[in-house]
Structure 1
Amino acid sequence: MSSGLALLAALGLATVVHAQTPAPAEVAPAAAETQIRTYTPADFARFAPSNALDMLNQVPGFSIRTDVVERGLGEATGNVLVNGQRASNKSDDVLAQLRRIPAANVERIEIRDAAGLRIPGLSGQVANIIVKAGGLTGQYAYTPEYRARFTEPVWTRFNVSVSGERGPVQYTFGLENQVNHSGAGGDTFIYNPDGSIREERYDVWTADSNQPRATARFRVDGPGDAAGNLSLAYRDIRSDYLEESRRTPATGVARTVDFDNLTEGFDYEIGGDYEFAVGAGRLKLIGLDRLRDVEFENNVVSTWDDGRANTGDRLTGRSEESERIGRGEYRWKQGKADWQISVEAAFNALDSESRLFLLQPAGNYTEIPFPGATARVEEMRYEAIASYGRPLSPTFSFQIAAGAEYSELSQIGGNGLTRTFQRPKGQLTAVWQASPETRYNIRLQRRVGQLNFGDFLASIDLSNNTSEEENPNLVPPQSWEAEVEANHSRGAWGSSTLRVYAHLIDDIVDIIPVGATGQSVGNLDSATRYGVEWRNTVNLDPMGWRGVKIDTRLWFQETSLEDPVTGEDRPITGNLRRFVSLSFRHDVPETPWAYGFGVSHQRYAPTFRPSEVAHGFEFPVSGNVFVEHKDVYGLTVRASVGNVFSGESYLRRTSFAGRRTDPVSFYERRDRTVGPIYALEIRGKF
């Protein structure tokens, strides 16, 4: 498969000479779609939005769900459409895309039900943003940030975009600098099994990431009712992590340990689609080509107080990840029914090389064996899905999609091998309008998960002194997923959405024991995940408190699998257990002022390894406050303070002498101060 396949849409666009601009892409309405919630720009005027993202964030009861990043494009997984279409690119998430759509170009936002749309894979409530072409417009945002402790200020974070139209071509150019600085510092205590102090540490770390990115998107309407899109993106990648750890043992020699992890590289993506009428329906051809190339160097050096030679390790490497996709979708209408057939071919590859070095007393580094860390992993995947949907009554519609995928997975180098998989997949969605105020979305899905190619290879974390062996026998996880989402509209008071779900997972990926002392990323037989999420938006205008909006979110989740070491049930490593948030916003009537606050709490399950259990978490209770002025010489200026409750960074780690069934070797307790976070956002348009 060549990269020319990714430019299939661009070649189609090049044949366009002149055309007329059609209406936005049609979205087939089902009978149960009579209660579509529609929001116009007037509904968001009080928030002074700059772009489509600002508007969508204020839709009552709606929460943006970004696409699940998988190999290939597959079926849709997010819950946001633009002009009835999902994006045909991957590196650009929906938040960035919406940020580049000027608010002036948004005609309306429709909140619809997945079963009433022509796009397989969607579930629950979906936002369809109807965008019109406009004259030359631009917008920008400058967002400096200052953290009171341990961290350098952020002065160069910004984004700017320009949109316009020339003849049949609509275009958007974007430039942004994604800069993030973070840091923390504090005490760490290592305890012996009897509770006595083994070692005291004082650690300070900083992490800096700088990723300038340029994007361009073109849409051509014509000839006739044909339409095409072309997306281009390029990003420069640089991140640096520094940590200094002063370590004083109860007995022995004190030392200072310095960590330095540097990553540099780039990525790009070219993607496009072209849709036109064929026979009784419409055919869309999609192509995509992307590449990510990064190099890294990790150093750990210990400087001893007694003057002995420094000791340490160095890990260097390079990884090149590539993907090429060709996809075709043909849809047509037959009576009240909507049909679609899609086929896709995707080629993915990872070339990875890692080398490990040991610091010698003379100050030079000597390479030591690191088996299984250098190899190439390839996958060729084919997928075919057919979908059928229709209304069964004025209040009930459904859509069913079924198909299969075939993949050939190869590891070249190390203990590589080649395997093939055939997996069925599909989804059933339905929407029931139980009353004018209440509707239910139902989803049952057989999902085939994706693997991280890096998990096939051996890896090592020098800072935590943990490592995993290579495992060429990894298989993709599969799951049965059931979900019911109920939405209730309270009119002017707001809305409420309740989601209940359960997942049965086969071949879940986790850290598994290998031999007597080793470990690797591997598969466990099965796991379960179930939970409930409740979102509420309450407007207080009806009770006389004009301009006040309160949003709440409660999310509780339980997971379970059989631990490969103890044989007992435990949670899935690192999965969300609970999330609770409340936000308050008051747009003061007849003034340009707004203010508000937010409070949230989240907790994740511990990380389980064969020889340890670690639970790291930040901000057990997180809070922020803000004040905003919507017309400072035509600009919107927002000042905010984060971490107002002085949340810290914590780690609770228990390490065992061998497996977790053996005696405890030591306990680690870490508390690191983060400090308040001051931010300023200046938004404007031109």
Structure 2
Amino acid sequence: MTYFTLASVCGAQEAYPAAYFTPFSPQTALDMVKHLPGFSFDPGDAGLRGFSEAGGNVLIDGERPATKSGGLAAALSAIPAGQVARIVIIRGGVSANDVSGQSAIANIIRVRNIQSLSGSLSLSGMAEGHFGSAVVTASRTFAGFNLASTTMFDATGERSHGSRLSFDAAGKPVRQDDLSYRTDYPEWSQRLSLDGDVAQGRMTANFMVAEARLSEAFLFRNDNQTDRFPKHTGRRRGEVSTDWTRGLGHDYSLKLLALANVVDLDSDSLSQSGTTATTLQTTDRFENRSVSREGILRAAVTKGGDSPLRPEGGVELAWNTLDSRSVMTGADPDQIFVSEGRAEVFGALNWQVSRKWLLTAGAAYEVSRIKSEDDRDTSNRFAFLKPHLTASYAPDPDSSLRLSLRRSVGQLSFGDFAASANLAQGTASSGNADLGPDSKTTLSLDYDRRFGTRGAFNLSAFYDWRENGLEASVLPSGDIGVVNVKSARVWSLAANLELPLDVYVAGGLIRLHYVYLDSIIADPITRVRRDITGQRPAEITISFRQDIAAAKLSWGIDYARGFEARLWYADEVRLHEHSTEWSLFVETSRFLRSKLRVEVNGLAGIRNTYYRTLYAPNRSATRNGSEIWDIRTPPMLTVSLSRSF
């Protein structure tokens, strides 16, 4: 297994031919990306602002997939491994606006005009439950266009048991329950893509539809009382997108993109109580129906080639809407319509100072207007300047250093504008129509070093200055909801090591991952300094894998250290303790030209414990009780079979 280091106007490059991945028996491009040495796959986040902010760190034939729903993972899963000619990693600095801000980018180069068919089937089982999935991907060339189709059905779920202890304000036990939790989540989706030459340019079109239905229920039971909290949620998604790229001469190119998606959600939550499971009667009900829509139009002009100065610029228009209706037992119906229109212009200049140095400077300026229509119509305007500056240094073909300063703006979750409730936890939240987008200025430093054929080391650190972050608090009306917090600070240090063990274990590789994270924010209720809600202070994972090429066999074991996270709600402080996790897999490609994989997740089971400290009416008052939820999930066994034809 070898890779080739190439000169690059954007930093050090490594090219991994398809043969490099043969020992891993990959079935899709996603499988191949996960085996790139020293590369951490970022699938992107469809919930982020606009198109460029939501991107991950993988390109397909030099272009970012023109899709948000499902993200990069879905796009890469739809590419059979046989269609990949090679994967090129660019480290140290990437200039393209669609992936700016990433320290490393993987570019998948496909084989054109090839027909393929692949499929996978998996069956999973745990105590009291059985699940499974099936995926079929097909591609062919027709009239000069490449057509691809991916059909998926996925049925996941969980069966957990435990206990709930309740205490009064003085800490005296008042109730003890057996707890059980059950969830089933079947989903099907269909994706179609088409790409080919149109009007002297290259066009790609994507279409996706999906439907899922989530059923979940908490059950608490003791000798005198039984409480059940079932919830049923339906989700329907759709997206259509297209992009077109054409050369303009003198190494300039024009890229146009249009995207639209919709998500339709309906949920029905019940609170049921009785002396036994057969005498349950509904005491509360919360129903919600929401439809969210997003549209994006984008145009960009970039300069490539070998010129030391490469400018780029463009404009993006976007709009988002949410139409939400909800009703709670004993309360008036709540209805709100939220919309945001946004316009952004952006530009950057990439200067290749030398073969070792790359400087990138640019900025984006956006204006937006958020309107909400309910019992009190509001309209707020925002404007943000988002500069960025990056210096990348590659002292030799195997190492790179990157320093970056960037300001970014988050995408509001319009769900925070609407009322919500969790009947099992006994919590409810009112919408806040006065929310604004959060923003942050990030100073980051990344160092990459490769050694041998598979060895890699990465060290990264960042410091965030955050403004208008979102935290649960008390609204001016006295209700509980989400508010903007003026400022916060977040800092982190992360290290990744991939160490080949061939000297001791043929084909062996160990991966070590460590993250330290800390923050400080003024609590919006008590004004006391604390961490940002939900933050995990440390993360440690260790993975070992051995590939025995002669036997067409691989096996491995993964370890993830347990963690603690503290969550701050308006009327509760919750400490979440998650146990250490172990998983084991064995896979082979010896039979029927297929890949067979057997995997056990949660070898010793998984334990989640929640310590809830409750306040009334909110955390500015004294404690009025507490609870301990102790939930145990048994191991999950999964057997999967995949094959490419």
**TM-score for the superposition, normalised by structure 2:** 0.94
Displacement of 1:238: 0.9
User: What code does the residue aligned with 1:183 have?
Assistant: R
Whether the 8 Å CA contact 2:94–2:103 is kept in 1: the answer is no
Displacement of 1:442: 2.1
Q: 1:587/1:524 Cα in 2 relative to 1: closer, same or farther (>3 Å)?
A: same
Which of 252, 257, 267 aligns to 1:296? It is 267
Q: 1:331/1:651 Cα in 2 relative to 1: closer, same or farther (>3 Å)?
A: same
- Tell me, what secondary structure is at the counterpart of 1:43? helix
Displacement of 1:233: 0.2
Which of 641, 652, 655 aligns to 2:600? It is 641
User: What code does the residue aligned with 2:76 have?
Assistant: L
Which of 25, 42, 56 aligns to 1:48? It is 25
The reply to whether residue 369 of structure 1 matches residue 340 of structure 2 is no
More strand, by proportion = 2
Distance in 2 (CA, whole Å) between partners of 1:392 and 1:215 is: 43
User: What code does the residue aligned with 1:86 have?
Assistant: R
- Tell me, what secondary structure is at the counterpart of 1:504? strand
Whether the 8 Å CA contact 2:572–2:615 is kept in 1: the answer is yes
**1:161-176 counterparts in 2 under 5 A?**
161-176=137-152
Q: 1:401/1:265 Cα in 2 relative to 1: closer, same or farther (>3 Å)?
A: same
- Cα distance per residue 1:458-509 (max 9 Å; x no partner): 2222111111222111010111011111001122360101111111100101
The reply to whether residue 447 of structure 1 matches residue 408 of structure 2 is yes
Q: 1:275/1:465 Cα in 2 relative to 1: closer, same or farther (>3 Å)?
A: same
Give runs of ≥4 in structure 1 deviating > 6 Å: 305-309
Distance in 2 (CA, whole Å) between partners of 1:416 and 1:530 is: 38
Q: 1:93/1:257 Cα in 2 relative to 1: closer, same or farther (>3 Å)?
A: same
The reply to whether residue 331 of structure 1 matches residue 291 of structure 2 is no
Aligned residue in 1 for 2:624:
665
User: What code does the residue aligned with 1:246 have?
Assistant: R
Distance in 1 (CA, whole Å) between partners of 2:312 and 2:92 is: 15
Which of 111, 127, 131 aligns to 1:132? It is 111
Displacement of 1:167: 3.7
Distance in 1 (CA, whole Å) between partners of 2:21 and 2:286 is: 51
Distance in 1 (CA, whole Å) between partners of 2:71 and 2:628 is: 37
Root mean square deviation of aligned Cα: 2.1
The reply to whether residue 183 of structure 1 matches residue 166 of structure 2 is no
Whether the 8 Å CA contact 1:546–1:589 is kept in 2: the answer is no
User: What code does the residue aligned with 1:276 have?
Assistant: R
Distance in 1 (CA, whole Å) between partners of 2:508 and 2:639 is: 23
- Cα distance per residue 1:130-173 (max 9 Å; x no partner): 1121421011111111012xx42014x11110122224201110
- Cα distance per residue 1:614-662 (max 9 Å; x no partner): 12344x2010111111122111111111111222121111112443343
- Cα distance per residue 1:24-53 (max 9 Å; x no partner): xxxx974463x3122112211111111111
Aligned residue in 1 for 2:320:
348
Distance in 2 (CA, whole Å) between partners of 1:128 and 1:507 is: 35
Distance in 2 (CA, whole Å) between partners of 1:376 and 1:561 is: 31
User: What code does the residue aligned with 2:13 have?
Assistant: I
Which of 581, 588, 591 aligns to 2:551? It is 591
Aligned residue in 1 for 2:123:
144
Displacement of 1:565: 2.3
- Cα distance per residue 1:315-352 (max 9 Å; x no partner): 11211111111111112359421111111111111000
- Tell me, what secondary structure is at the counterpart of 1:53? helix
Q: 1:258/1:333 Cα in 2 relative to 1: closer, same or farther (>3 Å)?
A: closer
- Cα distance per residue 1:587-636 (max 9 Å; x no partner): 12411221111001253531112321012344x20101111111221111
Displacement of 1:75: 4.6
Whether the 8 Å CA contact 2:103–2:402 is kept in 1: the answer is yes
Q: 1:549/1:174 Cα in 2 relative to 1: closer, same or farther (>3 Å)?
A: same
Whether the 8 Å CA contact 1:31–1:396 is kept in 2: the answer is no
Displacement of 1:552: 1.2
Distance in 2 (CA, whole Å) between partners of 1:351 and 1:333 is: 43
User: What code does the residue aligned with 2:244 have?
Assistant: Y
User: What code does the residue aligned with 1:48 have?
Assistant: S
Distance in 2 (CA, whole Å) between partners of 1:616 and 1:416 is: 38
Distance in 2 (CA, whole Å) between partners of 1:30 and 1:650 is: 50
Which of 76, 84, 89 aligns to 2:67? It is 89
Aligned residue in 2 for 1:565:
525
The reply to whether residue 72 of structure 1 matches residue 50 of structure 2 is yes
- Tell me, what secondary structure is at the counterpart of 1:559? strand
The reply to whether residue 551 of structure 1 matches residue 511 of structure 2 is yes
Displacement of 1:194: 3.3
Distance in 1 (CA, whole Å) between partners of 2:409 and 2:256 is: 24
The reply to whether residue 103 of structure 1 matches residue 103 of structure 2 is no
Whether the 8 Å CA contact 1:398–1:428 is kept in 2: the answer is yes
Aligned residue in 1 for 2:419:
458
Aligned residue in 2 for 1:198:
174
Aligned residue in 1 for 2:565:
605
Distance in 1 (CA, whole Å) between partners of 2:495 and 2:277 is: 59
Displacement of 1:279: 5.6
The reply to whether residue 622 of structure 1 matches residue 581 of structure 2 is yes
**TM-score for the superposition, normalised by structure 1:** 0.89
- Tell me, what secondary structure is at the counterpart of 2:550? coil
- Cα distance per residue 1:520-555 (max 9 Å; x no partner): 1110111111111111111122x1522111111111
**1:459-478 counterparts in 2 under 5 A?**
459-478=420-439
Aligned residue in 2 for 1:4:
none
User: What code does the residue aligned with 2:247 have?
Assistant: A
Q: 1:210/1:484 Cα in 2 relative to 1: closer, same or farther (>3 Å)?
A: same
Q: 1:560/1:84 Cα in 2 relative to 1: closer, same or farther (>3 Å)?
A: same
Aligned residue in 1 for 2:237:
267
Distance in 2 (CA, whole Å) between partners of 1:49 and 1:147 is: 26
User: What code does the residue aligned with 1:133 have?
Assistant: R
Distance in 1 (CA, whole Å) between partners of 2:464 and 2:518 is: 10
- Tell me, what secondary structure is at the counterpart of 1:393? coil
The reply to whether residue 211 of structure 1 matches residue 190 of structure 2 is no
Q: 1:434/1:604 Cα in 2 relative to 1: closer, same or farther (>3 Å)?
A: farther
Displacement of 1:441: 1.9
- Tell me, what secondary structure is at the counterpart of 1:154? strand
- Tell me, what secondary structure is at the counterpart of 1:632? coil
Q: 1:172/1:374 Cα in 2 relative to 1: closer, same or farther (>3 Å)?
A: same
Distance in 1 (CA, whole Å) between partners of 2:526 and 2:403 is: 37
Displacement of 1:431: 1.4
Distance in 1 (CA, whole Å) between partners of 2:255 and 2:399 is: 35
**1:493-532 counterparts in 2 under 5 A?**
494-514=455-475, 518-532=479-493
Distance in 2 (CA, whole Å) between partners of 1:348 and 1:29 is: 42
User: What code does the residue aligned with 2:497 have?
Assistant: N
- Tell me, what secondary structure is at the counterpart of 1:586? strand
Distance in 1 (CA, whole Å) between partners of 2:309 and 2:280 is: 76
Whether the 8 Å CA contact 2:154–2:188 is kept in 1: the answer is yes
- Cα distance per residue 1:297-318 (max 9 Å; x no partner): 1111111469999451111121
Distance in 2 (CA, whole Å) between partners of 1:128 and 1:82 is: 6
User: What code does the residue aligned with 2:589 have?
Assistant: K
User: What code does the residue aligned with 1:243 have?
Assistant: F
Which of 288, 307, 328 aligns to 1:317? It is 288
The total of aligned residue pairs comes to 636
Whether the 8 Å CA contact 1:483–1:502 is kept in 2: the answer is yes
Whether the 8 Å CA contact 2:270–2:282 is kept in 1: the answer is no
User: What code does the residue aligned with 1:336 have?
Assistant: P
Q: 1:29/1:354 Cα in 2 relative to 1: closer, same or farther (>3 Å)?
A: farther
Aligned residue in 2 for 1:365:
none
Distance in 2 (CA, whole Å) between partners of 1:659 and 1:96 is: 42
Whether the 8 Å CA contact 1:109–1:127 is kept in 2: the answer is yes
Q: 1:128/1:564 Cα in 2 relative to 1: closer, same or farther (>3 Å)?
A: same
User: What code does the residue aligned with 1:272 have?
Assistant: T
The reply to whether residue 582 of structure 1 matches residue 510 of structure 2 is no
Q: 1:617/1:179 Cα in 2 relative to 1: closer, same or farther (>3 Å)?
A: farther
